[in-house]
A and B are shown apart, each in its own frame.
Chain A
Amino acid sequence: MPENLIHTRELVKTYRVGDNDIRALAGVSVDIARGEFTCVMGPSGSGKSTFMNMLGCLDRPSSGEYVLGGRRVSELQGDELAEVRNRNIGFVFQTFNLLARTAAVENVELPLVYAGVPLRERRRRALEMLALVGLAERADHQPAQLSGGQQQRVAIARALVTQPLLILADEPTGALDSHTSLEIMALLQDLNLRGMTVVLVTHEADVARFARRLLRFRDGHVVEDEANARPEDAQAALATQKAAA
């Protein structure tokens, strides 16, 4: 049996608010293979973002085990986690989180800066990624000069630039209209087809239909884990929409 990229056992995360312990994650055991396209859904407050933060090594679980690419990252802390985030994980956020007044290409370069990649090499790889997301011509534009969809593409380029093991996208289409959402989904699906592992949180069933696997969360538990044998093709959906318009 091939080793899974992500392996979690009984992941628990409790937050202490006042005198109460809030269990944002109440024992999550999930395995995700390389190259999967997984969608995480569930009601608000069910622990989706907390789960993503654990997968992304942004936070440490209160208890439980997390193995990423064969490495027990649940044991790591501080700068070791920063290094895992830098090398192995690409984040895509709902609000893009680009640096203001900073050119798109420099935003894409940022993870390489912390990886210690020399400037010339950094620039080359960043431009390559911008070309991949279709924004080669916008390299010098600042976020304020880009549309929401374009900004999210820059963010995806930034997530890809270190050639990570997986892309984590927490509601990447939450701030976009349906057409732009489709474009972003087409991009993510395309990356997945090229082998990138993608985990994506969404509230919209419309978005979830492009994934091959669906995890449903409720009250910090995974209550449903189903495979979608026939995910829809976002590119085709985009073409249909264009034809209709």
Chain B
Amino acid sequence: MNVLGLLRVALRALAVNKLRSALTMLGIIIGVAAVIVMIAVGGGAQARVEEQIRALGSNLLLILSGARTQSGVRLGVGSNYTLSEDDAIAINREIPEAIAAPALRGGAQVIWGNSNWATQIYGTTNHYFDVRQWQLADGRVFEPAELSGAGKVCIVGQTVVRQLFADANPIGQVIRIKRVPFTVIGVLENKGQSMMGTDQDDIIVVPIATARGRVLGSANLAKQRAVSTIWVKVADDLDTKAVEEQVRALLRQRHRLQADAEDDFSLRNLAEIMAAREASSRVLALLLAAVASVSLVVGGIGIMNIMLVSVTERTREIGLRMAVGARTRDILGQFLVEAVTLSLIGGLAGIAIGVGAAVAIAQVAGWRILLSPESVLLAVAFAFAIGVFFGFYPARKAANLNPVEALRFE
């Protein structure tokens, strides 16, 4: 008998006990749905992390003031900066593969005309735009004189533009940051959300000397040329790890740290941080995978169970089929196709439910999902394999029946 004929026989047999067939499929349905959701959610999370890494640049180092404690929490932030602007200058001078941008930051109220807005003030150098790969949408970057002479000029982010200027052209306008007038000389391109979910466009960039002296500074800071952060970009297609070690060695030397002393700064590779975040999303995916595999196995056992019942119920039918000429492979094929049909229908229902659930999760929880044809194929393949694996034993049992005994069976 050909596969199509076997399929018709299988569908007819399954239709006789519709409820039983549906209940038997339940395990497969849940398992396959879980596989689909798992891949969709996991894939979405991964795609998002990859996107962030791309946006940030995979070769970005962040040096923060203060030592990292055992638990990873930095000490002394804000009170005792251990990094200085000169560290950034030294990195730029000593390590040609790296570009370093020192940064000081703090919050401030800004006013233009009748509008005012609380935003983040970033004191840095022109290197910052290179390091963050952040272009200007309009205007220009800082002149050397503005950087060295603490010029009262600023470059604003898109959110600030929206909040302060609405439709007006910001270039050339004078805004007040903590009552100090600044001339807007540039507008940054839109950057979007950071990986922590904060709005990166809610920013005003000023020369670092200006920030220290007029906006964020204290006398203490000014004396030390201290900065809170140094951003470092490693030139493309270079080993970020190696440059990271060079930077670490340079800073330790400049800070005169003994060989056994701990770093008085913390150096982070942003790609690594994001990889760690990705790993946590993998835990979720793994959990779902566990649920899926348990459910698939239970579903498979359910199919095996029902197929055994079915073989027993239909012993006389099997005997009759043998009497009229069914060979071992015909009977084996018949029950195998029936089991696979059961699991494949369950698999298709599971795909429908899984896709529905993934879309619902995307809408309700706001997670990114990624539905790929591969995952659907994988689910179908899983269902098929389960049908074959768990259907084989009952089918073989049927095929090995003795025709005389099968015909006698009450």
> Which residues of chain A have a CB within 8 Å of any CB of chain B?
53, 56, 58-59, 78-79, 82-83, 85-87, 91, 93, 97, 99, 101-102, 110-111, 113-115, 158, 162
Give Cα A78–Cα B331 distance, bound, in whole angstroms: 13
**Residue pair B328, A78 in contact (C-beta under 8 Å):** yes
Query: Shortest Cβ distance from A96 into chain B, in angstroms?
Result: 10
Q: Which residue of B lies closest to A159 (CB)?
A: B324
Question: Could you say which of B5, B326, B330, B404 contacts A58, with CB atoms under 8 Å apart?
Answer: B404
Q: Which are the 10 A-B pairs with shortest beta-carbon distances?
A: A86-B325, A114-B325, A111-B324, A79-B327, A97-B320, A82-B327, A58-B403, A59-B404, A58-B404, A53-B404
Pick the contact of B326 from A53, A82, A101, A162 — CB < 8 Å? A82
B321 at the interface (CB under 8 A from A): yes
Cβ A83 vs Cβ B324 within 8 A: no
> Is B118 interfacial (CB-CB < 8 Å)?
no
User: Complex formed: what's the CA distance from A162 to B323 in Å?
Assistant: 13
- Taking A79-B328, A101-B12 as contacts, is the C-beta distance between A114 and B320 under 8 angstroms? no
B199 CB-CB contact with A under 8 Å: no
Interface assignment of B16: CB less than 8 Å from any CB of chain A: yes
B193 at interface, CB cutoff 8 A? no
In the complex the two chains form, is A58's CB within 8 Å of B407's CB?
A: yes
Cα distance A119–B28 in the bound complex, in angstroms: 34
Find out whether the CB atom of A85 lies under 8 angstroms from the CB atom of B327: no
B325 touches A85 (CB 8 A): yes
Q: B43 → chain A, closest Cβ, in Å?
A: 45
Nearest residue, chain B, Cβ from A98? B320
Minimum C-beta distance from B95 to chain A (A): 78
Q: Which residues of B contact A115 (CB under 8 A)?
A: 325
Secondary structure type dominating chain A contacts = helix
Given A97-B316, A113-B1; A86-B324 close (CB under 8 Å): yes
A194 CA / B326 CA spacing, docked (Å):
28
Q: Is the CB of A110 within 8 A of B404?
A: no
Min CB–CB distance B400 → chain A (angstroms): 10
Q: Give the bracket for the number of chain B residues in contact with chain A.
A: 20 to 34
Give Cα A37 to B291, complex, Å.
66
> Which residues of the other chain, B, contact A82 by a CB distance below 8 angstroms?
322, 325-328
Asked if A158 contacts B324 (CB within 8 A), the reply is: yes
Interface of B is mostly: helix
Assess A85 versus B324: contact at CB under 8 Å? Given A101-B16, A113-B1. Answer: yes
Which residues on the A side are within 8 Å of B5 (C-beta)?
113
In the complex, which of the residues A53, A82, A111 has the most CB atoms of chain B within 10 Å of its own CB atom? A82
The answer to whether B325 touches A83 (Cβ under 8 A) is: yes
Q: Which residue of A has the minimal Cβ distance to B405?
A: A59
Q: Are B317 and A59 in contact (CB under 8 A)?
A: no
B133 within 8 A of A: no
Q: A82-B322, A113-B1, A114-B1 are in contact. Are A97 and B327 (CB under 8 A)?
A: no
Contact of A87 among B16, B325, B329, B403 (CB under 8 A): B325
Is B253 in contact with chain A by the CB < 8 A criterion?
A: no
List the B residue with the shortest CB-CB distance to A56.
B323
Query: In the bound complex, what is the Cα–Cα distance between A167 and B317 (angstroms)?
Result: 20
User: Is B363 engaged at the interface, CB distance under 8 Å to the other chain?
Assistant: no
Q: List 12 A-B contacts (CB under 8 A).
A: A59-B402, A59-B403, A82-B327, A83-B325, A85-B322, A85-B323, A85-B324, A86-B324, A97-B407, A113-B1, A113-B5, A162-B325
Query: What are the residues of chain B within 8 A of A162 when measuring CB–CB?
Result: 325
Which residues of chain B from 340 to 368 have any CB-CB distance to chain A below 8 Å in the complex?
none
A115 to B404, CA, bound (A): 21
The proximity string for B residues 370-410 relative to A, scoring 1 for CB distances below 8 Å and 0 otherwise, is 00000000000000000000000000000000111001000
Q: Are A93 and B325 in contact, CB atoms less than 8 angstroms apart? A: no
Contacts of B320 in A (CB 8 A): 93, 97, 99
Judge whether B404 and A111 touch: CB under 8 Å.
Answer: no
Interface centre among A78, A83, A86, A162 (most CB of B within 10 A): A86
Nearest-Cβ distance from residue B333 to partner chain A, whole angstroms: 11
- Which residues on the A side are within 8 Å of B1 (C-beta)? 113-114
A220 CB to nearest chain B CB (Å): 16
A91, B325: Cα distance in complex, Å: 11
Which residues of B are found within 8 Å of A58, using beta-carbon distances?
322-323, 403-404, 407
